[in-house]
């Protein structure tokens, strides 16, 4: 069951009150990344996560996301309940895309399993810039597309609550 609240789709019964969420995002492809972070934050707040419980840090690129996410989760004075690692990879003419996408997804999965804190894979792996814009709700067509940050926020709350038991 879903309904609209403050302009974002919220899942009924998903209550993030009291949860602490870490967002780590890249500076590569920043206009798209910023829209994704905004969509994520708005949805977290629509589900009750307090602004003071959302910590946002940035890193150069997607390849740095696993290390930074793990480091920040492990050094936190007050523990986080979930981490959302956000970036945008756009395929170029070399093999970089494949290597970075593979390392980042494997690395982020490992961070979640090793820290036992759910890590949400907020990395778009796009073949074109247009695909990235559309998946951040910035599409140039009549429909602006869907901001995937909304889904990542809901996944983070759902997994944090599951992990609390
Ligand atoms: N980082 C991203 O977050 N998105 C990209 O699309 C991206 N493309 C890259 C393409 C090349 C050719 C290189 C060398 C790096 C790219 N990076 C990208 C940066 C990468 O994730 C990382 O920050 C750097 O390789 C430093 O470890």
Classified as helix, coil or strand, 45 is helix
67-116: pLDDT as tens digits: 999 999 999 999 999 999 999 999 999 999 999 999 999 999 999 999 99
Which residue's CA is the closest to the ligand 1 atom numbered 12?
A: 96
121 lines ligand 1 (CB under 6 A): no
CA–CA distances in Å: residue 48 to residues 1, 57, 78, 122? 17, 21, 19, 20
- Res. 6: pLDDT tops 60: no
Partners of 90 in the β-ladder: 126
| φ, ψ (nearest 5 deg) of residue 149 | -60, -30
Task: Identify the band that residue 5 occupies on the pLDDT scale cut at 50, 70 and 90.
Answer: low
Classified as helix, coil or strand, 81 is coil
> Contact, 31 vs 37, CB < 8 A?
no
pLDDT at position 165 is 86
pLDDT at position 8 is 58
122 lines ligand 1 (CB under 6 A): no
Q: Give me the torsion for CA of 120, 122, 125, 129, rounded to 10°.
A: 170
12-56: pLDDT as tens digits: 789 999 999 999 999 999 999 999 999 999 999 999 999 999 999
Q: To test ligand 1's pocket by mutation, which of 27, 37, 61, 122 has the most ligand atoms within 8 angstroms of CB?
A: 61
pLDDT at position 1 is 41
Q: What's the average model confidence in pLDDT over 144-158? A: 97
Give this prediction's pTM: 0.94
In CATH, 21-164 is 3.40.50.960: yes
Which residue's CA is the closest to the ligand 1 atom numbered 19?
A: 61
Question: Per the structure block, which two tokens stand in for 146?
Answer: 């869907």
Name residues whose C-beta falls within 8 Å of residue 14's C-beta, 6 or more positions apart in sequence.
47, 154, 157, 158, 161
What's the gap in Å between 62 CA and the centre of ligand 1? 6
59 lines ligand 1 (CB under 6 A): no
């Amino acid at each position: 069951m879903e309904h609209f609240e403050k302009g974002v789709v919220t899942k009924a019964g998903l209550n993030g009150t009291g949860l602490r969420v870490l967002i780590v995002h890249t500076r590569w492809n920043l206009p798209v990344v910023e829209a994704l972070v905004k969509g994520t934050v708005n949805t977290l707040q629509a589900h009750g996560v307090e602004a003071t419980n959302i910590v946002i840090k940035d890193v150069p690129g997607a390849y740095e996301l696993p290390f930074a996410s793990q480091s920040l989760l492990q050094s936190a004075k007050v523990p986080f309940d979930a981490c959302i690692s956000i970036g945008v990879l756009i395929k170029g003419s070399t093999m970089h895309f494949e290597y970075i996408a593979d390392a980042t997804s494997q690395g982020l999965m490992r961070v979640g399993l090793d820290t036992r804190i759910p890590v949400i894979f907020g990395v778009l792996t796009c073949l074109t810039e247009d695909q990235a814009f559309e998946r951040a709700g910035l599409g140039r067509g009549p429909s602006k597309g869907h901001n995937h940050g909304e889904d990542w926020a809901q996944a983070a709350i759902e997994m944090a609550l599951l992990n609390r038991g």
